[in-house]
Amino acid sequence: MATPYDTSVSDAESAIGGSDLPQGVKDAILNVLNDIPAGESVNFVDNWQPGDNIPDGVDVLFVKGDATQVAIPDGVPVVIFETDQNVQVTLEGTVPTVVQLGAGDDTLVVDPSSESDHTIHGGAGNDSIVSAAGDDTIYFGDGSDTVDGGAGFDLGVIETSFETAGISWDGNQLSITNLAGETSVVSNVEYVQFDDGAIIAAETADLGVVARMYETLLDRYGDFEGVKFWFDVYESGDASLHDIAQAFLNSEEFSSAHGSATNAEFVDTLYEQLFGREPDAAGAAYWTGLLDDGSADRADITVAFAQSAEGEQSTERTIHVLDEDDHLA
């Protein structure tokens, strides 16, 4: 039987912070708690099962019992499954919701009309997660999971090494195999974060160029928030590839490392950071000459490198440009 109880925000934060929930889920729940007005309590419901009544204004719902089909009550911002059953879960999702699935082989489907940004953790088991139109964050749990992020700009987080993972693409489906032999299949997720790297799915060649600017100028893969920002800027028409390259060149991160570089040193840097090699004499002379005589500026050269076939090849493990027939939802 469902058991409602209240506690202070500070006590709730301490309980969540000290729990064994995954850190990403803790952070998402703490963000929910931080939005509760000062002086108000946090409303918990424990031992909830389908059919149980719950009071209005529930903040955190713990699902327990043997039910194998669960429709998450709409409007509850945090739902934690504490069950070993193989549960089929539906989420209407009119509000952003944090969902921690249980230890079974669970299936969660978000209503296709939902545009809310959800945070979902697969828990243990071989889970299937299908989200909708929000900018979702989906954590892969233990096991072999299948994830479809739906529309929106989604972040997938998988706790395995990028360097040792087996990675392959079939259209817009990404397969990731860890050292335990577990293979997860991902589609419609624009950014997949590993312990030590990331994979970016770009719908167009130009977005691939934007993603490649991080390697070209900053010598690192793009962070999620940065990639999302620049993809949005480019797709909105607010900036050209040249404009974005110039913004990278003007950044503190680039300027502190290479701000005083000569034209020749700048060209050398692009070869080393994007291509991973020293420049050939003819290539270095050509690009440096364009800069020296004013035929091109550094943003032009950056875009040209990021558009090159060698640039695509050198980043093919981290940046995947989808074919026209394989676009994300």
Angle at 325 between CA 320 and CA 327, to 5 degrees: 50
Spell out the domains of the chain, with CATH numbers in brackets: 3-196 (no CATH), 205-322 (1.10.3130)
Q: Cβ distance 188 to 329 under 8 Å?
A: yes
Residue 1's pLDDT is 82
Residue 77's pLDDT is 97
Q: What one-letter code names the amino acid at 24?
A: G
Q: CA 240 to CA 195: how far, in whole Å?
A: 32
Please provide residue 262's backbone torsions phi and psi, each rounded to the nearest 5 degrees: -70, 170
Residue 54's pLDDT is 86
Q: CA 43 to CA 55: how far, in whole Å?
A: 9
Residue 148's pLDDT is 98
Torsion angle in degrees (nearest 10) through CA of 44, 50, 51, 53:
10
Write the DSSP assignment of 205-224 as a string of letters. HHHHHHHHHIIIIISSPPPH
Please provide residue 218's backbone torsions phi and psi, each rounded to the nearest 5 degrees: -110, -5
Other CB atoms closer than 10 Å to residue 302's CB: what's the count?
A: 27
pLDDT by residue, tens only, the chain of 329 residues = 899 999 999 999 999 999 999 999 999 999 999 999 988 999 999 999 999 988 899 999 999 999 999 999 999 999 999 999 999 999 999 999 999 999 999 999 999 999 999 999 999 999 999 999 999 999 999 999 999 999 999 999 999 999 999 999 998 999 999 999 999 999 999 999 999 999 999 999 999 999 999 999 999 999 999 999 999 999 999 999 999 999 999 999 999 999 999 999 999 999 999 999 999 999 999 999 999 999 999 999 999 999 999 999 999 999 999 975 555 55
| 3-state DSSP assignment of residue 65 | coil
